[in-house]
Amino acid sequence: MNATPSNLAITPRNLKFNRSTSTGERRGHHTRWWHSNDPIRTAFLNALSVTFPQGESFFVEAVRRYRDAADPRLQEHIALFIKQETLHTREHVAFNRVIEQAGYDTEAMNAYTAHRMTVARARPPIAQLAITVALEHFTAILAHELLANPRQLDGAEPEVARLWKYHAIEEIEHKSVAFETYLAATKEWSGFKRWYVRCKVMAIMSFLFWRTNTRHMADFFRQDGINTPRTWMRVLKHHFVAPGLLYKIAGEYWKFYSPTFHPWHTDDRHLIAAGERMLAEPPIAA
């Protein structure tokens, strides 16, 4: 079932985004609603970003614990996965500072995320790995959609769009690492048990992932004074109609439940190449 391309390159890119320049000026011009001056599109991605530093640290711990069960190639991929996620955390910590500087208080969101992490860390190590497999599938299919459909980031401030595209490229590159670590860690299990546990955990995590995202969006909307039914109707439109992010990823999401699923059965390496070309463009000056 090992479908990871033999020539796959997982490349940690030590890039910095959204930092102040030497003159103290911030690169780019961050408005509060940095995505198309739209509070919904901004809140959706802000809500993801505030969970990333804690979430990605959890992924790293969960995968690292099973390094010894992996063959040498997978061990190498695990090391690169850890490097990539650690750099993502650094960049989202910097971006989350930009969110705060735009006037948002993220303390309650951080506390809620920390609470969810405490609950997850109380689970057995193999369950923590299965949680990581589920959430890495979400990040990989969201990343695919962000890179495949330019509309998703059209109208976003360029420096912030670059951060999301960089992150998306690397999520695609390492999308099978947690999954294959899970296969290595459960090689004594029956095929049915392996499938059943990852699917059960995915069903639970799907609920928890979207509940957390929705909670955080509500927090942003409250701070914007727009936590109203009208705003939530617009959220539904954003998720399911235009740009229809959830609707677009639904097909890839359901593939996870197949007994023969492997992340690389969808080969989207062409998006890595396209994303790389975009990152090679000169950064936006202040």
The site for Fe ion (CB under 5 A) is made up of: 85, 88, 171
Q: How far is the CB of 62 from Fe ion (least distance, A)?
A: 11
Q: How far is the CB of 92 from Fe ion (least distance, A)?
A: 8
Nearest CB to Fe ion, comparing residues 62 and 235: 62
Nearest-CB residue for Fe ion: 88
Nearest CB to Fe ion, comparing residues 44 and 221: 44
Nearest CB to Fe ion, comparing residues 61 and 224: 61
Find out whether 84 and 170 touch, Cβ atoms under 8 Å: yes
Nearest C-alpha neighbor of 46 from the set 88, 109, 89, 108: 109
Say which amino acid occupies 247: Y
Q: How far is CA 38 from CA 98, 238, 242, 247, in A?
A: 17, 11, 13, 20
Find out whether 213 and 44 touch, Cβ atoms under 8 Å: yes
Q: How far is the CB of 12 from Fe ion (least distance, A)?
A: 11
Nearest C-alpha neighbor of 203 from the set 114, 137, 117: 137
Distance CA(140)–CA(179), nearest Å, equals 12
Q: How far is the CB of 139 from Fe ion (least distance, A)?
A: 5
- 182: exposed, middle or buried (Cβ count in 10 Å: 0-12, 13-18, 19+): buried
Nearest CB to Fe ion, comparing residues 171 and 180: 171
Q: How far is the CB of 52 from Fe ion (least distance, A)?
A: 7
Nearest CB to Fe ion, comparing residues 88 and 198: 88
